[in-house]
Structure formats: structure tokens, C-alpha cells
Structure 1
Amino acid sequence: MEVVYVDHAATSPLHPDVIEAMLPYFHTYFGNPSSIHQVGRQARQALDQARVKIARKLKVSEQSLVFTSGGTESDNMAIIGYALEHQKLGNHIITSEIEHHAVLHACQELEKRGFEVTYLPVDETGRVKLNDVQTALRDDTILVTLMFGNNEVGTIQPIKDIGELLNDHQAVFHTDAVQACGVVDLQLDELPIDMLSVSAHKINGPKGIGLLYVREGIKLRPVLYGGEQERKRRAGTENVAAIVGFAKAMEIAVESIKEKQELYHQFARILIDTWTKEEVLFSINGHQYERLPHVMNVSFPGVNIESLLMNLDLAGIAASSGSACTAGSIEPSHVLVAMFGDSSERIQSAVRFSFGLGNTIEQMERVAKDTALIVKRLGQQGEFIS
């Protein structure tokens, strides 16, 4: 039985061209890029070229990019690194209730160190209100960190408006764009942001490599100590093979954004139309228009989500209940709780379908039909939630 993978928001398969680009750096060009001999210089050249390629796709200078081990480290580096370095300017941070745990747990750690954190609520679409950001701002606010697009429901935040709101304030603006990169056009030269986190394995690149964009002039306290790599901002020998793969993945992802957006919208329409035709009760969670095209979070009232996921897996469909970082947890999604309250039916019956490389129209037709059959077999009860 062919397994249909619709959990690309958790991780994505390596693109064949990415694998091909990486292979020489596991054997032929294996040097340490900090070594001064020719083997090291070959690795350094590849590292520098990859940085330039990524910088051009993001429309920033290559000096502004810091390679990390992934989105989690990038978020921690931005939040903890900036807060500790600028505590003399204030100790107040603003974030939201629906952030990835890499952000939430970093903020919670700072609270233990004496910082104050305001966790903004969201509406039922998963969006932060601009007025709430403005109201939360204080003279001692030094950092605002709000994700670009949510990993569970796909809702996109009003990033540009928030950034412009902070133009006349000392607080810097960080956004976790791990889910948005590769499916939304990130022209950083046009966005009023100061720091941005990205991870390669969400865009068909390798796991264990990410980056943090840091606007010129912003100083961060290092999270890691050791060597002087990454312009003394992140110690540790650079993962050259992964960085080369990251650059190739970024190149492919950015150049195919429009094509992917159209295809993913078509996938979503197939699911919606099929379930409607089959008279399945469902509701889509997240903003109707301001959303990431590859993430579709759906609640099936009256259906136990664990039973649904188990039956989908048996049918060869790999979906998830939300954030991969909380897989196996019996705790409800903090994102859906923030959107609907902890007693909402939607929380207990929500499944995330996320699209990506390798998915086809035929696969989506199968996912739609098999999901409808399973939901009915599980004895769905309840009324449609608008």
C-alpha cells in the first residue's frame, strides 16, 4: 500500500536535487571551513557561496545570516540572545499564545530570569489584533516576537502592520517564519522586521540546519560559546554539507512558490468538495484568507482524533493532530485552546493535513474519500460548525 504523506508541516522529504548537491561534501570536500589549507578552503568556498545564494533569495546581505542547527536554535538565539544583551533597556517582551514551543519555552525561561512576558490572545481565526500589540507596548518593552504563519492552523499574522507599529519604539521585531518560508514570498528588504528564523527541513532540505536573519546593527549575546564561527555569533564548526543542501532547497522553494500555492489551493478544494459531497460534518480552523496554502486544519465533530489518526494511518495516510513537537501528548493543542477555549468540540476532533513535495491530485482524492469513509465509520455525531 502506498503511504500518502500529508504531514509536510512536521517535516518534508529531501528534494533529489538537494541530495545530489550535498553528496560531494560528505567525501570529496569534507574539510573544516576554518582550516587554512586547501581542503579547508574548498569547504569555506562552498559555505560562502551557499550563504550568498540564500541571502539573494531572501533579499538581504549575506553578512546578516547566521547558520544554526534549526528553527528552535534560531528562535532561542533571537529571543534569549537579544533579551540578555539588552536587559539594561528594559525587561518586557511581547509574544502570543499560539507561538511554537521554541518561542514559548524561550520566553518562559526568560521569565525565570526576571523578565516580564505578555502573551497576547488571538481571535477565533488565530490572528493577533494590532490594537492588542499597541496596548501591550510599554516603555521598557525591548522585544516583540510573533510568528509569521502558524504551524498548526496556518493563519498568517499581520507582520507588516506590526512591524510598522514598532517603527517609533525601541522594541525590535522577531518573527518565526519556519512554516512560511518557501510557500510565502519573503522579501525581507520590504518587511519591517529585525530578526527572522528559518529551518531547512520544512522546505525539502536536510534536518539539523537553519538560520537566523539579523538586521545590521543588532547585537545578540551568544547562546553557544567556543570558536569564532559565524562572525563570533554562533560557535561551532559549520555543517557544510547541510548548508549547501539548505541553499539548494531555498533556491528550489523560492522559485516554485506561485506554482505550489496554486497546487495546494487545488488540494484543499478537493478535500472540501469531497467531504461536502459525502455529507461529512467538518469545519476548517484558521483564517479563511490570510493563511499558509499548505496547511489545512480540520475538525470533525463527534469523532475522536486519536481514533481518526490511527485509522488514517492504517489506511496509509500520514496526517497529524498538530505540532510535531507535542506528538504523543494527551494535552490539547495550545493553539486551538487559544482560538476557541478549552471546552470547544473543535479541540478534540482536529486533524492537520499539510501538503508538499510528491503530493498529487490523485493522492488528495484518495485522502478525501478515505477520510470521509473513516469519519462515517467512527460514527460521527454533532452539528456542522461554521
Structure 2
Amino acid sequence: MFQRNILPLLFLICTFFVVSCELKEDSDIEVPEKWEKVRGFEEGLFDAREIDGKLYTASWTRIYPDASIQGPNNFVDLSPFLRAMFPYKLPITDKLIAVVNPTQLTILPSDDPKPENALVMNMKDIDPDFLEFHFSINAGDDKIAILSDGSIIVPYRSRFDDRINNTPDFLLVKTAVDGGRVVLLETKLIKDEYFDRSVTIYNMKAFGSFTRVAIGDKTFDIDPAGNMELRFEEISKSVEVDGEIFAFAMTSPYENPQIHVYKSDLTGKNNQLIATYDSSNISLSDNLVLSQITGNLYSVNGVILVQSAWWIYKLSMDGQQLVLTRLENNGLENSDITSITLLGDSKVFVTAVCHNNEVFYNCGGFIKSLDNFFNPLESNPR
């Protein structure tokens, strides 16, 4: 009788220990940190930058100065100056704000961006042959460059002898803030012809002391004096990493395409070729990402990153091999990433915009710890 009653009890005890062990094993499994959507932004963001410990973010029509990932956030509405123009990436600085509409360039002081403090410039008054502003084909690239000395560089198209200039033109503007208002000091038109065919801007990026722009199949640098210098005989994309500039230049994709990697100081000059990679030595999946040389490059903590849609890749290279490692992106799915920024020394902030389709609908700002940012996706396709 006793034996018959104890058997069910022993069965329950054994079951309890088995289940307890399974739960303990499951609890030891590390769950990847998810990208957390931040509060305080009710729209897609196109850019973010930390300047002197303050976070600045921008949408298509708004600048958020001194933003917070906790919110709420005040913003400067620039839509009255943009009017009906197609949305583009607003430049972020702590001194000047520059926007364009179809025929005008407007410059405002960042600390008090009121209409009465603005400098409004009609492009037809500056260049009677002005046709239209000319943006790069990559939505995530700079559209207007504002350098560290306050110089502003704006690309546009003009007419010459009953035809459109082959090479896009650039307007260089120098200003000052006097009594709270922006005043004009100097303008210069950069109208050099480098091509015998009509070409477009593939990408443009403002560094501290110059602007780098890829036009057609070449790359040029424009300094604050308006000098435009040929930098590479190839289309390229550049990124600043720990006080140096790395440029990834791609040769023609039709015959044995190669990627040339150059390195320079922050002036962008005296570039050294540090590596050459044949596409045949790069995996098929990595080639598909790298072939889009106009895709976005970023750096976090000295590591170069490549971004495509909602994926972020860590780029590793030596003299023989170039490899992309896809990082965990739980929480970023269906987002169109537009910037990657390190906040302080512990958090990574990502911005994304939405589109009116079924592909990209997860937008705004996202945060993740730096400690877990570089975790690779468990299954990296090769």
C-alpha cells in the first residue's frame, strides 16, 4: 500500500527537478539586446550629431537642437523656407542653418532662427543662368555643406550656350552674424568644366575644412576658398575615423572591378593607397553591398561601418582580405537607416526615416549600448 502511494509522489518530484533544470538552462541563454525606440520624436529623422555634448537631430523639415532621447523635444520648423521642394537632408551645425527652396537659399543663425534674422538669397540674382539646385542621388548624403569656418557650399545646375553645363556648379557663401542677423560677406561661383558629357553628383560630404564630392567617375575636394581640386580618378566614398579620412574608391564595374582604399589626414590631401581589393577575392554577398559605393559609411569607436537598408555591417580589412560582418539588428527591421552616431562613450544612436510603402515603416530614433553594438548576427551569409 505504501509503495503504491509513493510512486506518484516520486514521479512528481523527478518531474519537478527535470523542469527546474530546463528552466535554469534556458535562463543562462543570453538574449541579444534589442534596439530601443527613443521617445520625443514623432517623425522620421534624417541625421543626428553630437556637438560639445549636445545632441542635434533633424527631420526633413525640422531641426531639434539640444535633443534628448527621453523627450519631449523642442524643434525649429523650417517648412516655411522650404515650401514645395522635395525633402532633403538638412545640414546640422551649432552656428548656422541653411535651407533651399526651388529658387532661394536661406541662411539663419542656429541660436535664434527667426525669419527676421535670415539672409535670403535669390539664385537668379547671383547667377542669371541658374536652372535648379542639384542634389546627390543618395538621399543620405549631404545636400548642403557647412564647413567649420561657416563657409556654405551649395550645388546647382546652370545653362551655358543653350545647353546645361556638363559639370554641376557650386555656390560658395561666406557670412557673419551681426546683431543677431546673418549678413553676407562674400559669394563665389565655382563653374569648372571637368567632363565632356552631362554627369551627376553621386555623393557629397562635408568634412571640417573641405567638402568631398563624387561627380561622374571622379572625386573632387572643394576648400573654403572655393578651389576645386581633383582628388581621385574614381568615384569614391569617404569616412572620418579617429582623426584620419579613409576613402573607398571603385574602378569601373565592367572590367575586373577593384576597390582602392586611401588614407589621409583631416585636410584630405596627400592620400596614401593602403590596400587594393579585387572583387573576385570578396564574397558574393559582400560584393553586393560594396558595389553600391554610394551607400553610407560611418565610424563608431574607430570601427568602419557600412549601412544598407536596416542592416549595419562591420568592415574589417587587411592587405589581403576585406570582409563585412552583419551586426545584430533586432528592433531595426523595416527601417531605412539614415545615420549612426556614438553618444558619449556608452550609447549608439541610430536614426531612420519612413516611406509610404510596405518596406520601410519603422522610423525615428533608436538606442543601444556600445557594449552590445558590435555583436555579430549569429548567421552571417557569405
TM-score range, shorter chain: under 0.3
Q: TM-score, normalised by structure 1?
A: 0.26
Structure with greater strand percent: 2
TM-score by length of 2: 0.26
* Higher Cα Rg, which structure: 2
Higher RCO (C-alpha under 8 Å, 6+ residues apart):
1
